[in-house]
A and B are shown apart, each in its own frame.
Chain A
Amino acid sequence: MSILVIAEIDSHGIKAATRSAITAAGQLGGDVHLLLAGSDLEGIALQAKSIKGLSKILVADAAEYANGIAENLTPLLVKLAPGYSTVLAAATSFGKNLLPRAAALLDAAMVSEVTQIIGERTFVRPIYAGNLNATVTAPAGLALITIRQTVFEAVAETGGDGAVESIAATGDAGKAQFISRELAVSDRPELASAKVVISGGRSLGSKEIFHDTLEPLAAQLGAAIGATRAAVDSGMAPNDAQVGQTGTVIAPDLYIAFGVSGAAQHVGGIKDAKVIVAVNHDAEAPIFKVADYGLVADLFDVVPELSAALKQ
C-alpha cells in the first residue's frame, strides 16, 4: 500500500523537513503520495510536482487550511488515511501538533520522532532526552509516524514528475482561530537545517554581549546562532534559538559551543552533529565529554582569535 506524506508549507513554499519525510517514506517501500493542504497553492503544487520520489500530489486548496490549523486539517487526514498503510510527517512543531490528533480519531498507532526505520513497523526513537534509544514495533494496520528531519537527508527538489490531483476540502471546524504569527527575522540560515551552528550559554552575560560576540562570527561562518536553555531563560537569546531536546534538535556539520556547560537535554539535541567543538573555561564542563575538539579557554579571547584566523 502507499504512504501519505503531509507537506508543511511556509512563505517560501514546501519546507525542507517535508522532503526529509519523503526520504523516510521511501525507506518504508511503496508509492509515496504528498498531501498539500493550504490556500493559494497553485505555485506550490508546481514546486511539489518536481520533488523527487512522489508518484502523486493531492492538493486541497481552501482557506481553512491556511496557517496549518490542526482542527481543520485533521478531518482531511481522517478521510484520506484509510487508503494508506502509513501517514508520515516531519517531527516539526506542525507535524507534532497534527498527527497525534489524527491518530486518536483513527484509533491507530502513533510513533513519534523516529530516527531510524528498521522494518515496516519497527522503528528507533530517542527517549529520555536522547540519552537512550528505544526500538519499538507498531501493530499491523495503519500507523502514523513523525520522523526527525535531521537524520533523514531531504530528497531533491527537482527531477520528479508526480501527478497532481485536486481533492475536496473538508470545511472549517470553527474551533480554533488563527490570530498571528511572529517568526524571527534573521539573515542567518534556519537553525534546524544549518550546516554550521554556533551557540552560547549564560556566561555570555547579557543580550547585547551575546549578540555582539556571536553575530559577527556567525556571519563569517554562514552559521545559525543557537543558545542554551539557561541563556534563553535569562533573556539573552530568543526562545526559538534554544538548542536541545526541548528546543531545536540539530545535526550540522560543525557545531561550536561557547560557554555551554552541556546539560543532558542540550547534549541530547546536538549529538548527531558531525563535529562538535566546545570552548569553556571550566575544564570539568560535561560538554567536553561529547566534544570532538575542546579548548579550555575564555570564550571572549577565543571568538576574536577564531575570527582573525578564519580571515587568513
Chain B
Amino acid sequence: MKILVGIKRVVDYQVTVRPAADGKGVETAGVKMSINPFDENALEAAVRLKEAGVATEVLAVAIGSAANQDVLRHALAMGADRALLVETDAVVQPLQTAKIYRALVEREAPQLVMTGKQAIDDDAAETAQMLAALLAWPQATFASSVQISDGKATVVREIDGGQETLQLALPAVISADLRLNEPRFIKLPALMMAKKKLLENIALAELGDTAAPSLTLLNVAEPPPRKAGRILNNVAELVAALRAEKVLP
C-alpha cells in the first residue's frame, strides 16, 4: 500500500507573525519557515505504518516555490521514500490544492492520503475533506488514532466534547490531529541519507486544469488589542474587581 502525504511549508509556529506593510498579506521576509506541524503528524503516522509493514511506500508532496525543497528534504529525513514538488509561485487555496492532489492521486494511485487537519497559516481545515469529495473516497478528519487492517482504516476522531470511531473502506483520506503521535526527532545520518532520495519537480501546468473558485484577500490586520490589564495584590481585590465587572455573584 502506498501512502501519499500532503505537506505545506508555513511560517514556523514559534514566529510572531505581523501584517505585511501593505496590509495585503503577512510579513515573510527573513522569517523562519517550517513544515506545518499537523502535516508532520500525518507524515509520522505514514512512516510508522510503513515501519509496521502495513504500507510499502510513503510519498511526500508539496505545492509551491522551489523553496519547498527544504520541507520535502525534512520529510525524506523523517522517513518518506520519495518526494514530489508541484512548482508554482501562485498562492494556492484549499480547493485548488485538493484538485492538484487529485491529479497526483490519479498518477500515483495511493490507497491512503494523509495530511494535517489544518495548516497553521490560513487555519482553513478544508483540504482533506475537499480531496476526499473529489475522489469520492471516505474521510476521517481530526484523527487521533489510525489502524489499518483488511483493507479498512479504523480511525478515532477528535470531536467537540469527546471522540468518535469510524471505519472507512480504503482508499480513504485521513487528516491528522496533534495527538495522533509525536513526530520523531531527525538525526544527522537521516538528513544525509535524505539527500540521496528522489525529489522530483513537476510544473503545475503539467497536471491539467486545477482552477478553483478562490477568495480575494482584502486585508490582514492585528485584532484590536485588549485594554491594558491590572496586576492586583490579593484575592480580596480580585473578587471586588470581578464583582464590579458583574461577572461574579
Tell which of A184, A233, A289 touches B179, judged by Cβ atoms closer than 8 Å.
Answer: A233
Q: Is A302 an interface residue (CB 8 A)?
A: yes
A92 to B125, CA, bound (A): 11
Whether B239 and A306, one on each chain, are in contact in the complex, defined by CB atoms closer than 8 angstroms, is: yes
B7 at the interface (CB under 8 A from A): no
Tell me whether B206 is interfacial, beta carbon within 8 Å. no
Q: Classify chain A: how many residues form its interface, as a range.
A: 35 or more
A-B contact count (CB 8 A): 241
Distance between Cα atoms of A20 and B208 in the complex (Å): 41
**When chains A and B are docked, how far (Å) is the Cα of A96 from the Cα of B234?**
43
Binding site for B on A (CB under 8 A): 67, 69-71, 74, 92-94, 96-105, 107-113, 122, 125-139, 141, 174-184, 190-192, 196, 221, 229, 232-233, 239-240, 245-246, 248, 253-254, 264-265, 271, 274-277, 283, 288-296, 302, 305-306, 309-310
* Residues in B neighbouring A264, C-beta threshold 8 A: 13, 16
- Residue among B94, B95, B168, B234 making CB contact with A176, cutoff 8 Å: B168
Q: Which residues of A contact B26 (CB under 8 A)?
A: 127-128, 132
- For the complex, would chain A's binding face be called helix, strand, loop or mixed by DSSP majority? mixed
Return 29 A-B CB contacts under 8 Å, by A number. A71-B138, A93-B160, A101-B129, A104-B95, A104-B133, A105-B133, A108-B213, A113-B125, A126-B223, A127-B122, A129-B120, A133-B221, A137-B216, A138-B215, A174-B169, A176-B166, A177-B166, A179-B166, A180-B165, A239-B144, A240-B159, A240-B161, A254-B242, A277-B242, A283-B231, A292-B226, A292-B227, A294-B232, A309-B236
Q: State A275–B242 Cα separation when bound (angstroms).
A: 8
Contacts beyond the supplied A136-B217, A136-B218, A175-B169: 10 A-B pairs with Cβ under 8 Å: A93-B158, A93-B159, A96-B141, A97-B139, A109-B214, A131-B16, A132-B221, A134-B122, A176-B169, A181-B162
A87–B99 Cα gap in the complex (Å)? 22
> What's the Cα separation between A253 and B247 when bound, in Å?
6
B138 CB to nearest A CB, Å = 4
